[in-house]
Amino acid sequence: MLDLPFLRQHADEAKKRLAKRPGYDTSVIDELLAADDERRQIQTQLDALLSEQNILSKEIGKLYGQGKKEEADAIKEKSLELKAQTGELQKLHDEASDSIRSMLLLIPNLPQLRVATGKSAEDNVTVKEGGPRHQLYVGARPHWELATSLGIIDFETGNKITGSGFPLYVGKGARLQRALIAWFLDKATAQGFTEYMPPLMVNEDSGYGTGQLPDKEGQMYHVTADNLYLVPTAEVPLTNIYRDTIVKEEDLPIKMTAYTPCFRREAGSYGKDVRGLNRLHQFDKVEIVQIEHPDRSNATLDSMVAYVESLVVELGLQYRILQLCSGDTSFASSITYDFEVFAAAQEKWLEVSSVSNFESFQANRMKCRYKSAETGKNHLVHTLNGSALALPRIMAAIMENYQTEKGIVVPDVLRPFCGFHIID
């Protein structure tokens, strides 16, 4: 949710940034500001009336105390008249506030000016490429065939137990998965991120806090009996730790990490991209989250990108880093970098991480502020997060890129966590 005081002071900047989103009609900003103006006028009137009423009430109390009943009753009459007026204004004020809030909830975050303007994934900008291209032997297979023939992932049985998109990892497949999680968490904690194991279901308030609600209602699994949502990413429970809080300026940045399974309905995606591990309803992910000072959030974004890069480098995967264009930048984000690794057998780039600076967009929804040490005033924090990393596509890339005639060779860094060096 955009910050209204910011919009008032920087309407032009806001419109310029918002206009980067394809097809977005920035006149909502003007409507919003007009509505805000009106609301403030109403409040001024309302406050004056309420103030008058409060004075009268106190007067009545005093008069009763002195036993001056008639005088008190006379003032009561007056107060009742006022009450009718305030009731009307109160209603107007509530309506105005509600409509402003619902307008605000629907406006996406402002892309940063440096974000490339564009419509779709086609317009994303590759900012870096790296890692070795893996040369495969003749007869190399895509990961879903490999995984099935090696018996490390049983898609059929996952399908039987739950449905498609819920793979069953078996034996070394399960162990490799666990090794990745352990390695990612160790790396993150070594970088100063505090490890959490959060709840896997969140309430509505948390969903609104990080912006999944109301925008992506249909993407989350909803446990209606208890009105809870299965987490689509650890970002939601982690960031919401700081919902409704005021942190000390010197405590920033706050660095958190967690491994969680992630649940996504992926409604509306069928067909080509869903083979094997490419797109799942349940998958594992280690997430990193930072709550940061506004002045430093972009520098912190860079450090998070560098950190994620170090992971794919150590895994020896061919990768590229994209800066998403304005049209592909998600609702809540102001700037996003995606990491893709190359799956050599299916010859496809797979997205394994998305690192974003949300600026104050989530903080405003969550009411997470910091108290300025200098002025003592409260300001919204900035929030950032990134996958570090999403497991299935990393698994897919490892399987495809590291396959040999003898089996899948485990990348060096994972061997201490696996206890084996080849899957055959």
Partner RNA sequence: GGUGAGGUGGGUGAGUGGCUGAAACCAACAGUUUGCUAAACUGUCGUACUGGGCAACUGGUACCGAGGGUUCGAAUCCCUCCCUCACCGCCA
Residues lying near RNA in the complex (CB under 7 A) are found at: 4-5, 36, 40, 43-44, 46-48, 50-51, 53-58, 60-61, 64, 76, 79-80, 83, 246, 369, 371, 378
Nearer to RNA, 78 or 265 (CB): 78
Could you tell me the end-to-end alpha-carbon distance of the chain, in angstroms, rounded to an integer? 51
Nearer to RNA, 34 or 80 (CB): 80
Nearer to RNA, 216 or 371 (CB): 371
Give the shortest CB-35-to-RNA separation in angstroms.
11
Nearer to RNA, 226 or 405 (CB): 226
Give the shortest CB-7-to-RNA separation in angstroms.
11
Query: Which tokens go with 39?
Result: 């609301």
Nearer to RNA, 36 or 340 (CB): 36
d(CA 282, CA 275): 14
How many angstroms separate the Cα of 33 from the Cα of each of 20, 29, 285? 20, 6, 40
Q: What are phi and psi for residue 129, nearest 5 degrees?
A: -130, 150
Nearer to RNA, 264 or 382 (CB): 382
How many angstroms separate the Cα of 287 from the Cα of each of 99, 329, 366, 387, 392? 35, 19, 19, 5, 14
d(CA 239, CA 385): 9
Give the shortest CB-139-to-RNA separation in angstroms.
45
Give the shortest CB-40-to-RNA separation in angstroms.
4
Give the shortest CB-213-to-RNA separation in angstroms.
17
Nearer to RNA, 122 or 226 (CB): 226
Question: Cβ(147)–Cβ(343) under 8 Å?
Answer: no
d(CA 393, CA 407): 19
Give the shortest CB-160-to-RNA separation in angstroms.
24
Give the shortest CB-33-to-RNA separation in angstroms.
11
Nearer to RNA, 64 or 270 (CB): 64
Parallel/antiparallel/unpaired status of strands 282-292 and 194-196: unpaired
Give the shortest CB-132-to-RNA separation in angstroms.
44
Give the SS3 label for residue 36: helix
Give the shortest CB-78-to-RNA separation in angstroms.
9
The dihedral built from the CA positions of residue 213, 218, 219 and 223, taken in this order, carries a sign that is positive
Nearer to RNA, 57 or 269 (CB): 57
Parallel/antiparallel/unpaired status of strands 378-380 and 368-371: antiparallel
Nearer to RNA, 81 or 122 (CB): 81
Burial 350-386 (b: 16+ CB within 10 A, else e): bbbbbbbbbbbbbbbbbebbbbeeeeeeebbbbbbbb
- Angle (CA) 156 162 164, round 5°: 55
Give the SS3 label for residue 171: coil
Three-class secondary structure assignment of 342-370: EECCCCEEEEEEEEEEEECHHHHHHCEEE
Q: Which residue has the tokens 């490419």?
A: 278
Give the shortest CB-373-to-RNA separation in angstroms.
9
Let me know how many helices (H) and strands (E) the chain has, helices first. Answer: 13, 19
